Amino acid sequence: MTDELPFVISDAAVEEIVKIYNQKNIPSDMGLRIGIRGSGCSGVSYLLAFDVKSDNDKEFYIKHIPIYVDKKHFMYITGLHIDFINDEVQHGFVLENPDTQF
């Protein structure tokens, strides 16, 4: 397990992740996977999903929830800003990485 997060996560995002984890009764052997689906002309497409840990994952914790990042995706996740917006215009997670030029 690694203590220092390679990404920035807002309090609102943490609160929503914990809420989903508890409301959906996610099994204790699963954590939140943060990764990429691919990159192309429009940039990197990020992934947030509950998943089991694989051998190639780095592991972090937010509250009591494990966070998994595949080592191959680590360079794309470093510097990522994760927020949760819930207002009249937008409802959902917002993932942006101001440090990457991919």
In a domain, 62, yes or no: yes
pLDDT in tens, 1-32: 556 899 999 999 999 999 999 999 999 899 99
> How far is the CA of 15 from the CAs of 8, 52, 76, 84, in angstroms?
14, 21, 24, 9
In a domain, 28, yes or no: yes
In a domain, 82, yes or no: yes
End-to-end Cα separation, the chain, in angstroms: 28
Beta bridge partners of 19: none
In a domain, 1, yes or no: no
Task: Could you list the beta-strand ranges (E) of 11-86.
Answer: 30-40, 43-52, 57-62, 65-70, 81-86
For the chain, the domain total comes to 1
* SS3 category, 66: strand
CATH number of the domain that residue 39 is part of: 2.60.300.12
In a domain, 30, yes or no: yes
> Domain of 88?
8-96
- The pLDDT of residue 98: 81
Tell me the pTM: 0.86
pLDDT classification of 37: cutoffs 50, 70, 90 = confident
